[in-house]
Amino acid sequence: MMARSQGAFSTDHPWSRIGWMSFVVIVVISSVLGFVVLSRYQQNDETLDLWSAICRSLGIPVAGGPATSPRPPLRTPTELAWSQATITRIRAGNAERGGFVALNCVACHEAGAAANPAYVIPTLDGMEADAIYKQLVDYRSGKRSWGVMNAIARALTVEDLADVAAHFAARPGRLQANSGERIPQGGRAFRQADVGARLVFAGDPQRGIPPCSSCHGPGGYKLGAPTLSGQYTAYIERQVAAFAQGIRQNDIYEQMRAIARQLSPEEMQAVAAFYGAQTREQIAAKN
């Protein structure tokens, strides 16, 4: 309503000219500096030609350039990526059909099974489907190795993996669901006397160790990380040790290896014991 009479784009009155000229000057100066000078003459970098400089300042990676230096061979911890396709596949898992596949599993993974007297085989009842699926994919591709698991996983189709993961996820058992609330234990977990509880709820910032619970519960949850509340103590201790020694290497970004390497054997034991004690009955008894 104010615009029509005024002719905002015309340049025949002085303020219009001043406005538009300032606009052009500002844009030209800042563009030349930002798109040409800045990315062309940065220190610690080879000088780029004009076109590459512009591409880089737009955020488009330029082909070519100083890419001739030798690179170490790429080692990936897993072949799985948390893409939409992966999550869609896991969600499509059919728990009923998974029950049929799981007939092969329960001989060892059944809680308190005769084949598992030392409890070094994890219980899977109630574990997140995405965590189970990732481990199966890693067994299948050889990124994680353990006894018969590689052969078993290779015998399954990708669909079977999702189905069996959905099956175990839906089964009630020892493992505690992560509620999605973060660190329910209150802030001052640093002052906990129990080493296990302190590491689980507060971690150890001085050594760069985050709280276990922020990914593995109780409370916290991160995609692909299994809940540990209620898991067998012996199994957890063995896995943390395997990460620490580099025997197990299927953790993305070496997250678990970086943490486990810093833990003393007593601390590994304490954390494992803390989680092992978190069964449904014991929690119920405590309250």
Partner 1 sequence: MYNARRLALYHYWVAFAVFLPAVVLGVWQMLMRSPLPAPVDDPNLYYASVTLHGTAMAYVVTTFFAMGFGYAVTVTSLGRPLKGLAAAWIGFAICLIGTLMAVAAILSGRASVLYTFYPPLLGSAWYYSGATLLIGGSMIWVVLMIVNMAAWKRDNPGKPVPLAMFATTATALLWAWAASGVELEMVAVVLPRAFGLTEWMDAGLARTLFSVTLHSIVYFWLMPAYIAFYTLVPQAAGGRLYSDTMGRLTFIMFLLFSVPVGIHHLFADPEIGAGFKFLQSFLTFLVALPTLLTVFSICASLEIAGRHRGGKGLLGWIAALPWDEPMILAVGLSLVMLGFGGGGGLINMSYDMNSMIHNTSWIPAHFHLMFGGAVVIMYFAVAYEMWPRITGKPLHSKRLARWQLWLWFIGMFVTTIPWHITGLMGQPRRVAIFDYSDPFLAPMAWLVVLSVIGAVILLASAILLIVVLVRSQIGDAVLQVPLRYALAVNPPVRVPKALNGFALWNAILLMFMIVEYGYPIGQFFFLKSSVPAYEVTRQLTGVR
**Rule CB under 8 A: which residues touch partner 1?**
1-3, 5-6, 8-9, 13-16, 19-20, 23, 26-27, 29-31, 33-35, 38-39, 54, 56-60, 82, 84, 87, 90-91, 93, 126, 128-130, 165-166, 169-170, 177-178, 180-184, 186-188, 190, 202, 205-206, 221, 223
What does the alpha-carbon distance between residue 188 and residue 171 come to, in Å, rounded to a whole number? Answer: 35
Instruction: Decide if 275 contacts 236 (C-beta within 8 A).
Output: yes
Q: Which CB, 128 or 237, lies closer to partner 1?
A: 128
Shortest Å, Cβ 57 to partner 1: 3
Q: Which CB, 9 or 51, lies closer to partner 1?
A: 9
Shortest Å, Cβ 31 to partner 1: 7
First to last CA, the chain: 69
Shortest Å, Cβ 23 to partner 1: 5
Q: Which CB, 71 or 191, lies closer to partner 1?
A: 191
Q: Left (φ > 0), alpha (ψ -120 to 50) or beta: where does 162 sit?
A: alpha
CA 196 to chain centroid, in Å, comes to 23
Q: Which CB, 73 or 180, lies closer to partner 1?
A: 180
CA-to-CA dists, residue 266 to 111, 128, 199, angstroms:
26, 28, 12
Q: Which CB, 101 or 129, lies closer to partner 1?
A: 129
Shortest Å, Cβ 232 to partner 1: 19
Please name the residue that has the structure tokens 């400089």. 53
Instruction: Decide if 251 contacts 257 (C-beta within 8 A).
Output: yes
